[in-house]
Amino acid sequence: MNDLNTLPPVLRHLCHEQPPTIAVDDGGNLTQNLDPIPVVDLQSLNHDKNNLDEACKDWGLFRLVNHGIPPTLLNQLHDQAKQVFSLSFESKRESFDGSSVNHFWGTPALTSSGTGVTSDHQKTNLFEAFHVPLAQLSQFQPQLPLIESFRVLLVEYGNHLSRIATTLFEAMVKKLELNLEPSKSYLAKDTGYVRVYRYPHCSNPDIGLGMEVHTDSSVLTILNQQDIVSGLEVLRDNQWLTINPISNTLIVNIGDLMQALSDDRYKSVVHRVKVNREKERISMGYFVFSGDGVELKSSKYKPFTYDHFRDQVQQDVKAFGTKIGLARFKRAEDN
């Protein structure tokens, strides 16, 4: 798909001009190899032997099976996403301009120096994406039939994601024995959004990452990587571990807000995305947050709302070129 006129101009010179190698699953592909991350069965959360608590404490992420999303829907979403990304860049800009769906790409990559700039040039995250606020999808009325079909699929997909996130969160709260106020939305359906990512193949993967090293600011993140091309990596024991794409499974990771709610018993996992030399990759991430004005309280952190947390992250990135995140809110005795 990597026809250069489909890519944002800033990414075109970074991508190989030759078409990507067609990915063929020959049985020895990464999609057939289980990685060591824990597996959680959504239908067995109430069983004593389910390992949800252990996975959240030791890993900060897990592979979810028996999640209830029809395989046909996951496959259709992936196929439709490929077709939408295959539209010319100009067509995509025109189709999404002024809509509730934001088309964006190539955000500046942060560096450990805190400047956001390397010695020779400013690096760029190598992706193109659509930011889709699920609560506003009904207001989005695209003119192109292809994009309308994709919108309909995303509505159905979003309903499944909300169900899964709520079920997992309630199980986590029970395991942690959290005393949350029942009238407050610590995980709010209307905050959920999907980001549909396209990571172009790159003839020189050393030029940058698909997505920089980071933690998510969410309560929970649910990743659908139906594509057979790997790229997601998590930091485990100071080493990077590839999280293999396996059909009809989802990857769930803990975000900063859940780590705070859990008093650091659950961890917000550090992760990144690498690009492939020959093959393009598509993935879809669902992010959900606490409700507007809901104050998160814990013994480890000073009380804060998600809006406060987000604003502080944005200030830090602007001032220092990096996300500081939860460390900003640590109580003095825990510093």
**Which are the catalytic amino acids?**
281
Between CA 329 and CA 308 the distance in angstroms is 10
- Total residue count of the chain as it appears in this document: 335
Nearest to 62 by CA among 168, 183, 174: 168
> Per-residue DSSP letters for 279-309?
--EEEEEEEEEPPTTPEE--SSB--EEHHHH
- To which residue do tokens 């069965």 refer? 41
Instruction: Provide the token pair at 282.
Output: 């598509």
8 Å CB contact between 289 and 306: yes
Distance in angstroms (rounded) separating the CA atoms of residues 60 and 254: 5
Residues 209, 215, 218, 223, CA torsion sign: positive
Put the strands of the sheet holding 232-236 in their side by side order: 211-214, 271-273, 232-236, 239-242
Q: How many CB atoms neighbour CB 169 within 10 A?
A: 17
DSSP string, 20-41: PPPP---SSSGGGS--SS-EEE
**Distance between alpha carbon 195 and the CA centroid of its chain, in Å?**
7
